[in-house]
Amino acid sequence: MNRLMLEFADYTQGEETMYDVIVIGAGAVGSATAYAAARSGARVLLLEQFEIDHGRGSSHGASRILRHAYDHPVYVAMARDSFLAWADLESESGELGHLQNEYGHILYGLPSVDGSGSKVGVHGGKPIDPQSPDRLPDPEVIAAMTRFSERVFPTASQHKPSRVCLYTNTPDEYFMIDLYPEHRHVVIASCCSGHGIKFSSVLGQTIAHLALTGEPLRDLSLFTLARFSAEAE
């Protein structure tokens, strides 16, 4: 991946001032979008206000998974394509991924690839201001997770240092991918609600294609902006 990103950086840091695609945000989905657009031959500028792999968004950390099980056929189809796209990236970059096939569990676990520890978390939280300087884990959540770990994993050692990761949630927890109504050359993509990284490989292809052609690569009717205005009415 480092080699591919270096080649991409060399390509976009020339003297060109005109770009076919400008991507704002170099998180998992933004980076995948820029990568897909660049692979198609487009001139691409990727903008990020912080350093790469910063801890102020939703893409940092190693505790991520892929899965096929979703509540809508559109997501299931995208998950299938995402697995294929991740495999392509693995082959092209020479970086091996880690896949563990196990089924039938209520509790799921993530492998500790580098031996740094195990992930224990809870899905949910209270609304916060993304500009807030407070990046400390909630003590009540830490206490609850510690009690859970002691009950389920009684032989585990003390918990490791915790990190805060923002969740950007749409009201229905589905993606938002659409052309901006008043400026059809602008794509708005909020690929979030806790499952963005799973799909980032295929989302990059999808968003890049929409930005370059103005046409959807797949069925995006589930992710339109209009669904929220209809609810408001």
**What is the DSSP track for 121-185?**
--S------TT-S--PPPHHHHHHHHHHHHHH-TT--SPPPP--------TTS--EEEEETTEEE
The mean pLDDT value for 182-194 works out to 85
Say if residue 105's pLDDT is above 50: no
Say if residue 231's pLDDT is above 80: no
Residues 14-40 have pLDDT tens digits of 565 788 999 998 888 888 899 999 988
Chain centroid, CA 41 distance in Å: 24
Q: Could you say which of 3.50.50.60, 3.30.70.980, 1.10.287.3510, 2.40.50.180 is the CATH number of the domain covering 14-60+67-95+169-232?
A: 3.50.50.60
Of 139, 130, 117, the residue nearest 62 (C-alpha): 117
With tokens 């995006």, the residue in question is: 220
- pLDDT confidence bin for 68, thresholds 50/70/90: confident
DSSP per-residue letters across 54-112 = -SSSSS-SS--------SSHHHHHHHHHHHHHHHHHHHHH----------S-SS-----
What does R_g of the chain's alpha carbons equal in angstroms? 19
Residues 149-164 have pLDDT tens digits of 888 777 766 666 677 7
User: What pLDDT does residue 89 have?
Assistant: 82
0.85 cut: is pTM over it? Answer: no
CA distance 3 to 6: 5
CA 36 vs CA 17, 76, 203: distances in Å: 20, 21, 9
pLDDT mean across residues, the chain: 77
CA 22 vs CA 12, 187, 216: distances in Å: 11, 10, 18
84 — phi, psi (to 5°)? -65, -40
Of 23, 102, 116, the residue nearest 61 (C-alpha): 116
